[in-house]
Amino acid sequence: MILKCIAVDDEPLALDIIADYVAKVPFLELVKRTENAIEAMQLVQEGNIDLVFLDVQMPELTGIQFLKIAGNKASYILTTAYSQYALESYDLNVSDYLLKPIAFDRFYKAVEKVRNQHQKQDVAAAVPVATPVTSPTNAPIQDFIFVKTEHKIQKIALDDILYIEGLKDYISIFTKTERVITLQNMKKMEETLPKGNFIRVHKSYIIAVDKIESIERSRIAIAGKTIPVGDTYRDAFFKLIDSRNV
């Protein structure tokens, strides 16, 4: 079993140490090291990360805030020079808590614990259980995303999204009640949103399929907005629409 990891810390030297330790452990793979907690949050939301080495005190988002937002999509080992956060972190199901400076033997003990936890989960998942049959387009999905706005990190329910418009350096997410502006690119947003529920129809637009009111030629009406279908995206869009015709 290989655990895919990311290291999140606003101190480059601390990231160097974690990266060095990870390289020494055969069952760990460092996917990303970053000083940006928002970037790390996005990676965790995508669901491909097994373990996060997470600093507690960071400028944009503390480790404790990160844990409360991100939930249980990955395992976490907190890394910090301050012991006072230990009790609160364990209440948030943190796998371990490493005090800086971190010795390698203590690091190895912590990651071994995480590997054992994942192995037990894999064994449990291998036991056959009755599960509901779902089609690919109706498969269970995460029903919200978090985006960084100018002053906060905002939770947006996927069902509230009408469409998304890409601008030069940011995107606008239009919901049933508001417009949310965030620094993000369209490709990353397209990859994050569940396929079948959202589709890119233009270099500047992603739409929620269930919010379409009408389609006339290559124009889509959603909540009073007319959205063009670009040539690059036309075939994929109309193929999806045709699959849902009655």
- What is the per-residue DSSP string for 3-49? EEEEEE-S-HHHHHHHHHHHHT-TTEEEEEEES-HHHHHHHHHTT--
Backbone angles phi, psi at 200, to 5 degrees: -85, 130
Backbone angles phi, psi at 96, to 5 degrees: -160, 170
For residue 201, count other CB atoms closer than 10 A to its CB.
25
- What is the per-residue DSSP string for 121-172? HHHHHTS--------GGGS----EEEEE-SSSEEEEEGGGEEEEEE-SS-EE
Split the chain (246 residues) into runs of 10 and give each run's mean pLDDT: 94 95 96 93 90 89 84 87 61 81 94 90 54 43 78 87 88 92 87 89 94 92 94 91 76
- CA 152, 158, 163: angle at the middle one, nearest 5? 90
**101 is written with which tokens?**
């400076």
Q: Which pLDDT score is estimated for 63? A: 84
Q: Which pLDDT score is estimated for 10? A: 93
| Burial bucket for residue 119 (CB in 10 Å: 0-12, 13-18, 19+) | exposed
CA–CA distances in Å: residue 202 to residues 110, 219, 229: 47, 11, 5
Contact 206, 220 (CB under 8 A): no
Give the rounded distance of the alpha carbon of 183 from its chain centre: 15
- What is the per-residue DSSP string for 97-131? EEESSPPHHHHHHHHHHHHHHHHHHHHHHTS----
Q: Which pLDDT score is estimated for 229? A: 94
- What's the CA gap between 140 and 148, in Å, rounded? 25
